[in-house]
């Protein structure tokens, strides 16, 4: 996923991707105190990266306040311009404004998510409503909107090129959807709603992090480690040693830790304990309970949508997506859901039979599924996760992701020695174009730690654009893998490796961006299109061309045996009923939440349970993200979690274009993919972009086949 800093309910096209604020090619003027505040001074880094070693928490508040003032002055100059509005003095001027705020805000939001401290969290709680108020003030400025609207009304006569016209239309739509046409009293209410939502979203995210930080399961004695592979034991003991518990092991609520434990631990009692803590995040009572926050967020977003003339927030949000309506989303999810539930029932029966065969006198519970699924996979395909992990070294998988980008798009990666990041684990690579010129910087932050939010995402410190002298991107991937023991490689599960490829697909969407204007650069596209580049990139991991070269044993250095590759391929659709139900249930609850009468969402857990009952949720499976910790839909994917499924229709269909040629790196197809998808940003309507690449709209057949749900 891409990282969202969204705290508002009127999404701009840049809201759902972190740090896509408008930036400028022009140098920011020096600010008072710049020599003492590294955020306000020029950044001397070779690649335009922030001077992390010099930045302290105390620098952010004054830097952000100075950036707000600078941007406000720029906007006032544009809105108050006495000259008739032109594309140059209004739209292009808007695109150039806010450079200082973009760069300071990018550093702050990234660090607050990846290496947070109580001080940074306090600043976030203070600044998030200020960000909302600042943007709302701009979007509801009547003088500024009049200039944009005047240009929009006569756009056909302006003789703009396609990209200029697209940017004008997107700016106009952004202002309209933000409430620019509302009455004065309605605008006042929108400002209040946006400010309140900003505070609620920030608090929600921080509550989830605190719940994850506050829980750990200590593995005390030998029997607590039963069933766990050595690589997991080593990582658990390393985590324990880091927390002053040498000789013991620690399981945390980082997905790589808790899912690994649920997959391998023979201790059913400990699996139950870990699973219940995992799904209870945000719902434990006390200061970090998110249930009332969810209810209020839904109520505020519904109120905004109704002020804009829509019945529900889902209707409002989807109007500016590929899907367009809740009915279209419902049809897609229902088509997949019915097949997935049947397949999940078959999988459950197989797990139960295995458990009973071992003497288990119980029905399969949610904390049993991953454990027995691994057992059944081993029995059916002679394949288990522990056998795969030694072949999936983190460094080798990073190299594999880079090599695919080289073969597809011609870019290469050169690690920056002794890169000074915000944490010792952070690494960076210079990105080089086919000609050898610098094309950007890629930053990788791969390991779980208590100061980092869970999950995986792509974000940016700088976005690409070509205004003035132009700007090369600085893109970051953030993941939460378990770190190997000292001197040992960090080993991944196959799902971990897939996640790495997924986020690097997002990263390439930012790195390969080749547009003029920052507001349409990289991942600044609709949520049901933004997952296409990431999910498509996952396909290359499973190809023999990649695994055969990069999946080598961490001790012997020998490549993964052909027989193991064959078994891995044979098992690729195993447990897809579970995976599809787990995800699709979350998407259906998200859509139900934002399509409901807000008054019916007072009791969030009852709403969740009632919705799941109405769709026939299998009792042995729990939503991938329960509402009290569902960060996607409180942030930028509200009424948009279906996007992964929508994009999967496209990614399956898109990879088929390569398969049809007999070459998964076919140069002609790769060239079209780069031109119309990875480098195009939001230059054109996403449906048109896909058709330009594929020659036709996508077909659902590939998705059903990929998930093993086709008849």
- The CATH number assigned to the domain holding 206 equals 1.10.1370.40
Closest C-alpha to 1, from 624, 515, 690: 624
Closest C-alpha to 275, from 371, 366, 385, 351: 366
Q: Radius of gyration of the chain from Cα atoms?
A: 25
From the candidates 74, 112, 135, 503, give the one annotated as an active-site residue: 503
Interatomic CA distance for residues 242 and 248, integer angstroms = 11
Please tell me whether residues 504 and 411 are part of one structural domain. Answer: yes
Residue 353, domain member (yes or no): no
Strands 438-447 and 474-481: parallel
Instruction: Collect the ranges in the chain with pLDDT lower than 70.
Output: 3-35, 711
Residue 36, domain member (yes or no): yes
Strands (E), 210-341: 217-219, 249-251
Please tell me whether residues 61 and 138 are part of one structural domain. Answer: yes
Cα distances (angstroms) measured from residue 472 to each of 170, 417, 432, 522, 677: 23, 20, 11, 11, 18
Please tell me whether residues 117 and 233 are part of one structural domain. Answer: no
Could you tell me the pTM of the whole model? Answer: 0.92
Strands 412-415 and 457-462: unpaired
Tokens of 501: 């490829």
The domain tally of the chain equals 3
pLDDT at 3: 60
Using the 3D structure, point to which of 570, 603, 619 is the last residue of a domain. Answer: 570
Please tell me whether residues 162 and 235 are part of one structural domain. Answer: no
Q: What is the CA 498 to chain-centroid distance, rounded?
A: 14
Tokens of 459: 């974000």
Q: What angle do CA 117, 119, 125 make, to 5 degrees?
A: 105
CB under 8 Å to 299, separation ≥6 — which residues? 598, 599, 601
At what angle are helices 604-615 and 291-307 packed, to 10 degrees? 80
Interatomic CA distance for residues 321 and 643, integer angstroms = 10
Contact (Cβ atoms closer than 8 angstroms) between residue 552 and residue 391: yes
Residue 227, domain member (yes or no): yes
Please tell me whether residues 499 and 555 are part of one structural domain. Answer: yes
Using the 3D structure, point to which of 189, 214, 239 is the last residue of a domain. Answer: 214
Beta bridge partners of 444: 427, 477
Closest C-alpha to 2, from 521, 706, 657: 521
Q: Is 503 a catalytic site residue?
A: yes
Please tell me whether residues 122 and 205 are part of one structural domain. Answer: yes
Interatomic CA distance for residues 550 and 565, integer angstroms = 12
Residue 407, domain member (yes or no): yes
Residue 630, domain member (yes or no): no
Using the 3D structure, point to which of 280, 299, 330 is the last residue of a domain. Answer: 280
Instruction: Quote the domain boundaries for residue 96.
Output: 1-214
Residue 287, domain member (yes or no): no
pLDDT at 190: 97
Give the number of residues written for the chain.
Answer: 711
Strands 412-415 and 427-432: antiparallel
Please tell me whether residues 12 and 142 are part of one structural domain. Answer: yes
Please tell me whether residues 245 and 199 are part of one structural domain. Answer: no
pLDDT at 89: 98
CB under 8 Å to 161, separation ≥6 — which residues? none
Contact (Cβ atoms closer than 8 angstroms) between residue 630 and residue 204: no
Please tell me whether residues 199 and 264 are part of one structural domain. Answer: no
Interatomic CA distance for residues 256 and 628, integer angstroms = 20
Please tell me whether residues 187 and 39 are part of one structural domain. Answer: yes
Please tell me whether residues 192 and 228 are part of one structural domain. Answer: no
Please tell me whether residues 241 and 130 are part of one structural domain. Answer: no
Residue 108, domain member (yes or no): yes
Residue 52, domain member (yes or no): yes
Secondary structure element (H or E) that encloses residue 18, with its range: none
Interatomic CA distance for residues 12 and 33, integer angstroms = 32
Interatomic CA distance for residues 63 and 38, integer angstroms = 9
Q: Please write down the long-range contacts of 308-313, taking CB distance under 8 Å and 24 or more positions apart.
A: 308/10, 308/177, 308/179, 308/182, 312/594, 312/595, 312/596, 313/9, 313/594, 313/595, 313/638, 313/639
Closest C-alpha to 71, from 108, 21, 109: 21
Q: What is the CA 83 to chain-centroid distance, rounded?
A: 42
């Amino acid at each position: 996923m891409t990282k969202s800093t969204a705290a508002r309910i009127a999404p701009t096209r840049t809201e759902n991707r972190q740090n896509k604020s408008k930036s400028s090619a022009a140098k920011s003027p020096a600010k008072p105190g710049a020599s003492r505040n590294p955020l306000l001074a020029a950044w001397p880094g070779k690649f335009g990266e922030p001077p992390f070693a010099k930045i302290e928490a105390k620098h952010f508040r004054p830097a952000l306040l100075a950036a707000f003032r600078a941007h406000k002055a720029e906007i006032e100059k544009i809105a108050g311009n006495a000259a008739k509005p032109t594309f140059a003095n209004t739209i292009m001027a808007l695109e150039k404004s806010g450079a200082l705020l973009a760069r300071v805000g990018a550093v702050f939001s990234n660090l607050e998510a990846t290496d947070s401290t109580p001080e940074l969290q306090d600043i976030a709680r203070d600044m998030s409503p200020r960000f909302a108020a600042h943007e709302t003030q701009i979007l509801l400025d009547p003088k500024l909107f009049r200039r944009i609207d005047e240009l929009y009304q006569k756009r056909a006569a302006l003789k703009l090129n396609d990209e200029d016209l697209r940017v004008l239309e997107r700016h106009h739509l952004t202002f309209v959807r933000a409430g620019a046409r509302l009455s004065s009293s309605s605008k006042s209410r929108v400002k209040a709603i946006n400010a309140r939502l900003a505070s609620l979203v920030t608090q929600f995210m921080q509550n989830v992090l605190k719940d994850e930080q506050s829980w750990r399961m200590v593995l005390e004695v030998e029997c607590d480690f039963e069933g766990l592979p050595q690589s997991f034991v080593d990582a658990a003991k390393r985590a324990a040693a880091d927390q002053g518990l040498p000789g013991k092991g620690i399981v945390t609520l980082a997905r790589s830790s808790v899912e690994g434990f649920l997959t391998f631990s023979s201790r059913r009692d400990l699996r139950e304990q870990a699973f219940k803590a995992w799904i209870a995040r945000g719902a434990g009572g006390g200061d970090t309970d998110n249930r009332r926050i969810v209810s209020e967020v839904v109520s505020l977003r519904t109120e905004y949508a109704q002020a804009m003339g829509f019945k529900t927030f889902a209707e409002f949000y989807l109007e500016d997506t590929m899907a367009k309506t809740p009915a279209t989303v419902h049809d897609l999810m229902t088509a997949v859901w019915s097949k997935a539930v049947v397949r999940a029932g078959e999988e459950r029966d197989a797990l139960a039979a295995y458990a009973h065969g071992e003497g288990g006198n119980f029905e399969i519970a949610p904390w049993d599924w991953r454990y027995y699924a691994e057992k059944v996979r081993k029995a059916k395909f002679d394949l288990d996760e522990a056998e795969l992990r030694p072949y999936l070294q983190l460094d080798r998988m990073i190299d594999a992701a880079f090599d695919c980008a080289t073969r597809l798009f011609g870019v290469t990666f050169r690690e920056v020695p002794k890169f000074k990041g915000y944490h010792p684990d952070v690494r960076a690579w210079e990105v080089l174009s086919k000609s050898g010129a610098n094309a950007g910087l890629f930053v990788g932050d791969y390991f779980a730690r208590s100061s980092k939010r869970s999950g995986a995402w792509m974000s940016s410190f700088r976005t690409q654009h070509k205004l003035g002298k132009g700007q090369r991107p600085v893109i970051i991937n953030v993941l939460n893998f378990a770190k190997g023991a000292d001197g040992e490689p960090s080993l991944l599960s196959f799902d971990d490796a897939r996640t790495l490829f997924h986020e690097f697909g997002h990263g390439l969407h930012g790195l390969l961006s080749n547009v003029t204007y920052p507001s349409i650069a990289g991942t600044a596209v609709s949520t049901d299109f933004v997952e296409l580049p990431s999910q498509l990139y996952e396909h290359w991991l499973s190809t023999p061309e990649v695994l055969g070269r990069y999946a080598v044993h961490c001790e012997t250095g020998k490549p993964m045996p052909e027989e193991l590759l064959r078994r891995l391929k044979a098992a690729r659709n195993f447990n897809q009923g579970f995976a599809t139900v787990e995800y699709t249930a979350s998407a259906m609850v998200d859509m139900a939440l934002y399509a409901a009468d807000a008054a019916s969402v007072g009791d969030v857990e009852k709403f969740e349970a009632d919705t799941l009952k109405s769709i026939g949720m299998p009792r042995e499976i729990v939503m991938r993200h329960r509402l009290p910790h569902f960060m996607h839909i409180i942030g930028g994917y509200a009424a948009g979690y279906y996007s992964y499924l929508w994009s999967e229709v496209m990614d399956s269909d898109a990879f088929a274009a390569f398969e049809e040629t007999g070459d998964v790196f076919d140069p002609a197809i790769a060239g079209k993919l780069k031109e119309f998808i990875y480098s195009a940003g939001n230059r054109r309507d996403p449906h048109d972009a896909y058709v330009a690449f594929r020659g036709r709209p996508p077909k659902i057949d590939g998705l059903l086949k990929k998930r093993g749900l086709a008849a």
